[in-house]
Structure 1
Amino acid sequence: MSKTAATPPSAADPSRWKALVFIALAQLMVVLDATIVNIALPSAQTDLGISDGNRQWVITAYALAFGGLLLFGGRIADKWGRKKTFITGLAGFALASALGGAATGEAMMLGARALQGAFGALLAPAALSLLAVMFTDAKERAKAFGIYGAIAGGGGAVGLILGGFLTEYLNWRWTFFVNIPFAIIAAAGAWLVVREPAGGRNRARLDVPGVVLSTLGLVALVYGFTRAESAGWSDGLTVAMFVSSAVLLSAFVLTERKVNSPLLPMRVLLERNRGGVYLSLGLAVIAMFGLFLFLTYYLQVVKGFSPVKTGFAFLPMIAGMITGSTQIGARLMTRVPPRLLMGPGFLLAATGMLLLTQLEVGSSYPALILPAQLLLGLGMGSAFMPAMSLATHGVNPADAGVASAMVNTSQQVGGAIGTALLNTIAASATTAYLTDHAAQAAAGGAAAKLIQAQAMVEGYSSAIWWAVGILVTSSLIAFTLINTGRPGSAGPVASGGGVADEVRIPVVAH
């Protein structure tokens, strides 16, 4: 059990702010790697002779390994030590990136991507749980998680910028090699300055059945959504993956209720505030990843932007996220309850998304896309920061790793769902538009090209309407389920119809 100390561990360790720099750098590397390869993929496919049917596996191999092993990686961090797990994850990620950059064929590339995902699944929960146990003072925790939340939210857009720059001016291989200096600097810095507080380890035996069931269940779920994007929702293997996932994850829940030392204790998942974070954040990421996909295609295919120009076109969203996390979220986190940041934040993001439903072939970037991105970034940044902090709300330090892993799992599954679901909606709307304008499309020439572009934009705007609804739902979940008071407030806080929860900032046992 944890004990309340007179002086919070964070206040006694001046190196924690230096440690934050290296933890944030590692998190940036993992998050941007989810998108940096997307822009480089056409060039890599040509050089390595990867078939059109297998090119999706360059993305899918990473997503499957990362999403499937996150819970296992979180529990390893709890048992083995977060600093050791963090450094091991960085070393492995650097090695896998070197293999990917040096790939000579399809098999080597896919193996490297799977290894990146596996070591990322060690690294990501270790990074977040280190912050959870190192920053326990409410005000310092707000600042630390403001920085972390900005990176977690904006890293994907940074990946698009960096991927475009490296692919256009250097070579696609540098989208892999760029990880190596990131990892070396972060690992060396962590070795020197990270001081993980004593205690808080989970010494219980590893729940092997839970590891197997959760990994296979999450892999089946992520692959099901990934396959649905290319093969359709009625495809036999797609349906089989969803059924298998439901069976495996149901068996996982039943197992976790019976074993003495579960991989994912139900107390971590079912506490209403953490549950609200996992659910609302996962839904918000569905909308975000769908938007990254649509805006990338809109800017490059419809507007004719180069990869580099496309990447820089996402800068307003990054600026909004950084401002929302560090200037709005971090400043208000200790003054208002988290739901009053998350709920309005998701609504502000929905407003930005609503503007993008007005996209047309000739839409102005400064007049429409730029302000929409700013609103989206401000809203997401304001919501992400308290969400990341609340993910370990009141959790026993021995469960901090697996609680952190659940945040990453909700984001990873949300990303897979967003890409597949919204892309399917967009494709259906595009097909319907082309069917309605078949005569004009058959005419050929400039008119046919315009109809094709209008059909694509019609598909994007239809899917973005769904993203608006998803973000509004995220806001409602945050307002309804999250009832904890502002960090550091004394005593229980009553809220909308639920049992009041006592606000606790986790303090590690000495």
Structure 2
Amino acid sequence: MGRSISRWSLLALVSTAVFLSVIDIFVVNVAIPSIKVGIRGTDTDMQWVIVLYVLGYASFLIAGGRAGDYFGKKPVFVIGMAAFTLSSFLCGLSQNTIQLNIGRTFQGISAAFMVPQGISYIQVLFQDQKSRTKALGIYGSIAGAASVIGQFLGGVLPEIHSFVEGWRLLFLINVPIGIIAIGLSIKYLENTVIVRTQKFDSLGAALLVLTLACFIYPIVQGRELGWPIWIFILFGLSILIALFFFWQQRRRQNKGKLSLIDVSVFKHRDFTIGLFASVFYFMVQDSYFLINVVLLQNGFGINSFDTGLYFVFQGVGYVIASLLSIRLITLYGKFVLIFGVMLMVVSLIFHLWLLDGSAATRPFLPLVFFVYGIGCGTVLPSLLTVSLRNLPSSFAGMASGTYSTFQQTAIALGVGIVGGIFFYILKNPHRKLETYLEAYKAATITNIILLLIVAVFLLFISHKKAK
């Protein structure tokens, strides 16, 4: 069926994928203490609620992008959206942590298939450079708005006491949006040309999933299990599988077959440095929310609504800075990113100073959260741009998928490591505010160190675009 609505309306339609995927990250980040109480989970269970979503996303993101070329973007988008809607519904009905985390895993996997199609449709719908740039800007703004809305809803929804527990609404709210998006997509989206010149790399996809699972599981679960020897064996196994994966990818390329990752992309210096910088940056991304939310709600006893409002200030700062940084990056390059990273570091130092248990300092918290958001918004939207800037255009699509996979893996890694440090200090069942503050200090200092490493990597990226 030919489309009978404007391409800008179609942009809004395909952008529901990134809207739902982003909002589902931030809404859970803010509401994690409420989910823990509602589902009667442990600290490790709550780490998994965050980790399994991003791990499922990271494991299948490259495969999800390839699937759109192989099976057509419309069916993959619709099926991905349907799977995301169904898994959200199952999360909302969960009766225990196992059910919830299974649902979260499938949320992440389905997001990995629907989001790349939304981005690809922009390339199809907007052929000229001017309109495509505008469309990508709108798409990015929708993602930014989703982060702010998610932080607000993460505070508001758990406070609602109606026919269903408030924390369940965090997931059930996706259902009507998903159903509407599915119906409109079936009616208005046109399918794209299917490319099946080569067999899909199913072995590579399986190896990537296995690598990430064996790598992240020991980091998150080891603390609660007491670090048995088999945990370290599993971690070592992940390294061996990763080496085999890259060998298998190179072998397929040498034979002229389709691979998930073109390993020759790592020969490009700026991309590789940018990739390392992004790994350390995204280790801070969600671990920051986790430790701050737990401190504010469980340590200080601030309700989820007020906690959500604090993070709205952070989100507003992010959106404002992201709009400005896109323009500044063309003038000042990597120095914009370095400034943003150092602003985050300074803000975290003020976090440590103000979050000392004294109620007298709390009126200053919105400003500190806002400044942290300014730093995030200065770095995050442009980190990928700087990393890909000197890469040949033939690598752009594949490199973007590789970057996103490392990004999501780093989020899981940060929640596992930084969150693990935080909860290790909190292992005493008779927790006092002093214990929360000690745990927060250790975890935040870790995040400061990670950000300083990011700044060092950025110093080695080329300042200007190569001619």
Alignment TM-score, normalising by the size of structure 1: 0.76
- Of the three residues 113, 117, 134, the one matched with 2:104 is 113
Q: 1:278 aligns with which of 253, 270, 275?
A: 275
Paired residues of 1:74 and 1:404 also in contact (CA < 8 A): no
1:354 to 1:85, Cα distance in 2 relative to 1, 3 A = farther
1:399–1:177 distance in 2 versus 1, CA, 3 Å = farther
Where do 1:83-232 residues align within 5 Å?
A: 83-103=74-94, 108-131=99-122, 144-149=135-140, 152=143, 155=146, 158-170=149-161, 171=165, 172-188=167-183, 203-228=197-222, 230-231=224-225
Query: Which SS does the other structure have where 1:313 is aligned?
Result: helix
Partner of 1:243: 236
Give the TM-score, by structure 2 length: 0.82
State, as a whole percentage, how many aligned pairs show the same letter. 25
1:438-481: per-residue Cα shift (whole Å, max 9, x none)? xxxxxxxxxx98xx312321321232122122222223323322
The one-letter code of the counterpart of 2:421 is I
Paired AA for residue 315 in structure 1: V
- Seen in structure 2, the aligned counterparts of structure 1 residues 162 and 66 have a Cα distance that, compared at 3 Å, is same
Q: In structure 1, how many angstroms separate the alpha carbons of the residues matched to 2:274 and 2:143?
A: 14
The answer to whether the aligner puts 1:407 opposite 2:403 as a matched pair is: yes
Deviation digits for residues 14-66 of structure 1, max 9, x if unmatched? 95544443344321311232343466666666776778886665445434422
Q: Confirm whether residue 31 of structure 1 aligns to residue 22 of structure 2.
A: yes
Q: Choose the corresponding residue for 1:468, options 443, 448, 451.
A: 448
Q: Does the CA contact (< 8 Å) of 1:220 and 1:245 recur in 2?
A: yes
Contact between 1:228 and 1:420, CA under 8 Å: does it hold in 2? no
Shift of 1:237: 4.0
What code does the residue aligned with 1:379 have? G
What is the correspondence of 1:301-320 to structure 2 with a 5 Å cutoff?
Answer: 301-320=298-317
Per the alignment, do residues 238 and 70 of structure 1 end up closer, same or farther by CA in structure 2, a change over 3 Å counting?
Answer: farther
Specify the code of the residue in structure 1 equivalent to 2:271: R
CA distance in 1, matches of 2:443, 2:282: 14
The structure richer in helix per residue is 2
2:365 is aligned, of 357, 365, 369, to 369
Q: 1:224 to 1:484 in 2, by over 3 A?
A: farther
Q: Which moved more, 1:53-62 or 1:90-99?
A: 53-62
Q: Alpha carbon RMSD of aligned pairs, Å?
A: 3.6
Question: What is the DSSP-based 3-state SS (H/G/I as helix, E as strand, rest coil) of the residue aligned with 1:203?
Answer: coil
Q: Once the 2 structures are TM-superposed, how far is the Cα of residue 146 of structure 1 from its aligned partner?
A: 4.7
| Structure 2 segments unaligned to the other structure (5+ residues) | none
Q: Shift of the alpha carbon at 1:340?
A: 3.7
Q: CA separation of 1:472/1:363 partners in 2, compared to 1, >3 Å: closer, same or farther?
A: farther
Unaligned runs of 5+ in 1: 1-13, 435-447, 486-492, 494-501, 503-510
Find the counterpart in structure 2 of residue 441 from structure 1.
Answer: none
SS at match of 1:205: coil
SS of equivalent residue, structure 1 residue 173: helix
Equivalent of 1:456 in 431, 436, 440: 436
Deviation, structure 1 residue 394: 7.2
Matched residues in 2 for 1:392 and 1:200: separation?
27
1:170-199 deviations in Å (ceiling 9; x for gaps): 423222211123323444555667678x77
On the 8 A contact 1:19/1:194 being kept in 2, the answer is yes
User: 295-304 or 422-431, which moves further after superposition?
Assistant: 422-431
- The aligned residue for residue 439 of structure 1 is none
Q: How far 1:262 sits from its partner (Å)?
A: 1.5
1:378-408 CA-to-partner distances (Å, cap 9, x unmatched) read: 1211222223445665778886654333233
Residue 306 of structure 1 and its aligned partner are, at CA, apart by: 0.8
Rounded Cα–Cα distance in structure 2 between residues aligned with 1:66 and 1:133: 24
Kept in 2, the 8 Å contact 1:391–1:404? The answer is no
Partner amino acid for 2:336?
A: L
CA distance in 1, matches of 2:122, 2:26: 24
Cα-to-partner distance string for 1:337-371 (whole Å, 9 max, x where unaligned) = 64243232222222222221323111655554222
Given the superposition, is the C-alpha separation of residues 53 and 303 from structure 1 closer, same or farther in structure 2, using an over 3 Å criterion? closer
Counterpart residue type for residue 347 of structure 1 = M
> Would the aligned equivalents of 1:283 and 1:471 in 2 still touch at CA under 8 Å?
yes
The aligned runs of 1:287-326 (5 Å cut-off) are: 287-326=284-323
TM alignment of 1:258-273, pairs within 5 A: 258-259=251-252, 260-273=257-270
